[in-house]
Amino acid sequence: MDKLIITVAPTGSVPRKKDTPHVPVTPDEIAETAYRCEQEGAAIIHVHCRDENERPTSRFEIFRETVDKIRKRTKLVVMTSTSGIAGQTDDDRATPLKTNPEMASLTTGTLNFAGRKPAVVYVNTPETVQFLAKAMLDQNIKPELEAFDVGFVQQGKRLIDSGLVKAMLDQNIKPELEAFDVGFVQQGKRLIDSGLVKEPVHFQLVMGVDGGVPATPENLLHMRNQLPPSATYVVAGMARMQLPMTTMAIVLGGHVRVGLEDNLYLKKGVLARNEELVARARHLAEDLQRDVASPDEARTIMGLNPRR
């Protein structure tokens, strides 16, 4: 069993200081959180940035300052978000890639976030997806492929048809296949069979997103059991299901993602800090006699190059 990789997603695009005083929104706060989370056992940080009014932003100067400060204070694997904000152009969304991250998120379709009030439409046209994939490809950045429904997988197949996934393979860029339901795993296996993704493959199993697979033990086991025998995977449980999904992932040999992007509470009525959620995952692993990976060990497990 590999050492446990803990990813922290500290900010996201939704929580505000009015929701929890512990969400980091400035470059200094995010860098300080990154440092504290690394001390508690995190190996990867998923970075969103905010403007002066706490609104999500892709402004280069803010992302550059944030990523630079994280790198100066930690050895964490840095993964930037390219998620869309209403009115953003494709160039705006690709701006965080100019910070030269080791990984980046890539969503392959459009989604209605019906669980948010008011509801939000997350628009990703085929042209936008191909533009962002090409931008990542040109910079040798490992993409995190986000799929919220079966239609997103079809967009991923269009990327294959365009030759971009083949180009990633040729340049030894390993994608993370993100699965929100069982059908996404099957599509990942087809990519393996076609020779477009090398084994061992790395999946992310997202449990409990509104519209995705519910976060139950039975569903996680079923998802895990569909994976190729040599695959590695990370489990992200939403809201109060973060703790049970984290515990199951540790026992099953998977990896985990925690943080205020996905869950605001340490327990009912008690607001969490990011480092507390990381520490809880580490303590669970230690109690279950599973070692936790350092950032460099995570790079080896994920097939990434040495730190940039």
Q: What are the pLDDT digits (tens) for 229-287? A: 888 898 999 999 999 999 999 999 999 999 999 999 999 999 999 999 999 999 999 99
Specify burial of residue 157 (Cβ count, 10 A radius: 0-12, 13-18, 19+): middle
Closest Cα to residue 213, out of 183, 252, 191, 175?
183
Query: Residue 249's pLDDT is what?
Result: 97
Torsion, CA 230, CA 232, CA 238, CA 241, rounded to 10 = 70
Could you tell me the pTM of the whole model?
0.85
Helix (H) or strand (E) holding 7: strand 6-8
The share of the chain scoring above pLDDT 90, in percent, equals: 49
Residue 140 in this model has a pLDDT that exceeds 80: no
Closest Cα to residue 101, out of 67, 58, 74?
67
Is residue 145 very low, low, confident or very high in pLDDT (cuts 50, 70, 90)? low
CA distances from 168 to 21, 132, 139, 188, 202 (A): 40, 13, 11, 15, 15
Query: Residue 17's pLDDT is what?
Result: 97
pLDDT tens, 88-134? Answer: 888 888 888 888 888 777 665 555 565 666 666 667 665 666 666 66
**How many whole angstroms separate alpha carbon 69 and alpha carbon 55?**
20
